[in-house]
Every structure is written in C-alpha cells, then in structure tokens.
Amino acid sequence: MFYELRHYDCHSSLALRRLTSRFGEHTTKIWARIGIEPVGFWPVIVGANQPRLTYILAWENLAQRETLWAEFQADPQWKTAVAASRAEVGGDPVRTITSSLLSPLPFSHIARSDNQPKRLARGVFELRTYKFDASGKLNKTTDWFRDHCLPLFEAHGFFAMGFWTTYIGVSPELTYMLVFESLAHREQAWASLYTDPKWAEIQQFLYTDGVSPILSMDTALMKGTDFSGWS
C-alpha cells in the first residue's frame, strides 16, 4: 500500500469553496463508484500556501492507481462537474496541483477513511514535511521518531495520524500528520512537550555536534471538510 498526497492551490477563497463543493457533491461519489479511496480532505487554515485544499488517497499498488485514475479522468459525470465549477468562477478554480507518492513507515498508524478516533472528528490537523539532502539523514530522523519522539507524543496528547517517506521521487522527505482536538489543544500539547525534560534529553539522538539532519521544514494547519472522513 502507498498514499498519494495532493495539494490544490486555488486562485481565490471563492475558488477554493467551489472546488471543495465539487469534491463533496460530485468527485467523492464518482470515486466511491469507481473504487478510489480518499483518506480525508483538508483546507489549509494556517500556512504559507493559501487558499489550498489538501487531500490524501490510499492505493493498493501503482497498477491500481493508473487504472482507476484513468477511469476517473474519462468519467462523463466528472467532466460535467468540472465544467460547471469552472463556469461558476470564470475559469479553472485551481492555480497549481502538486502530488507526492508516499510510503507509510512500519511504525506508522495506517490511515484509512474509517479508522479515525471519534474524539478528533472536528480537530485540527498539522501536516509537516521535512526535507533532507541525504537518505542517511532521513533514516536517522525516522529512527529518532520511532524510538524517542513517538512515546513523548503519546504522553502529551498528540495523535500521529501517519508517517510517510517518499515512495517515488529523487528528494528524501519525511511527511507526517498530527491531529489535535482544537487549536487550544495543539498549543497546550506543544508547550507541554517542549517543557518536558525528556524532550531536551532525546535531542542528543537526533543532532550531531549541534547540527540537525533536517535541511528544511514545511508545516500547515488544516481543518477537515464536512464530507471528509476526518471532518
């Protein structure tokens, strides 16, 4: 199994609303008929890339993705829905689309549309992507999360929805998503983690001579849509 993380950057807030409506009213229903499995949909509420709709798909293998995506692209109902949404905003609501194929790490929660904790149903989702300049640094960081960081996350009320690395691509990246009950819960959880003496202790297992293996980091806060499994 692998996952596909897709970002749709829109021309305006109105375009984002129309695009989100198209997914909820048409696209997800077509996917259900075809057999495409979405994990969730999230508009970005805090982050550099706004207005943006982010969603994740779960695939069994590359052959399934190729077959079902081609069927979806050729679907007459989808083409009609796209034409209608473009008419509403005077053109394509989407400015750019970026897509990443991701492989779940062995210790990761396997995110599916039907296995989210109900207490997080209206939560805040934090998507983080770490970039590296060498695969060895990526491996060191994933080991650190598994052995040291995840236990602290759990102790301080974080829910780690998933951890993924690049499945196809040239750049070693670690992507993970955290879920909190609210913005206030997120603020409290991070503050609690950063003041835990164990947090300072485990940094020695990540840093080498005071240098982080992580080259850069992107982060965004998101909320689920009404039709998302994680809404």
Copy the structure tokens of residue 81. Answer: 């829905």
Options 3.40.50.12500, 3.30.70.100, 1.10.10.10, 1.10.150.120; CATH of 2-101: 3.30.70.100
pLDDT of residue 109: 77
Entry pTM? 0.92
| CA–CA gap between residue 44 and residue 41 (Å, rounded) | 10
Copy the structure tokens of residue 147. Answer: 């052995």
pLDDT of residue 119: 63
The answer to whether residues 4 and 72 touch, using CB atoms and an 8 Å cutoff, is: no
Indicate the domain borders of the chain: 2-101, 105-223
pLDDT of residue 101: 95
Chain mean position to CA 173: 13
**What is the SS3 assignment for 8?**
strand
Domain covering 105-223, topology: Alpha-Beta Plaits (3.30.70)
In sequence order, which ranges of the chain are alpha helices (DSSP H)? 13-22, 28-34, 62-73, 76-89, 135-144, 150-155, 183-194, 197-202
pLDDT of residue 108: 87
| CA–CA gap between residue 127 and residue 115 (Å, rounded) | 18
pLDDT of residue 121: 63
pLDDT tens, N- to C-terminus, the chain (231 residues): 899 999 999 999 999 999 999 999 999 999 999 999 998 899 999 987 889 999 999 999 999 999 999 999 999 999 999 999 899 889 999 999 999 999 999 988 776 655 566 666 678 999 999 999 999 999 999 999 999 999 999 999 999 989 999 988 778 999 999 999 999 999 999 999 999 999 999 999 999 888 999 999 999 999 988 887 654
Q: 2-101 and 105-223 share one CATH topology?
A: yes
**What is the SS3 assignment for 76?**
helix
Query: φ, ψ for residue 138 (rounded to 5)?
Result: -60, -50
Letter for the amino acid at 208?
A: T
| CA–CA gap between residue 151 and residue 130 (Å, rounded) | 20
pLDDT of residue 114: 59
pLDDT of residue 169: 72
pLDDT of residue 20: 94
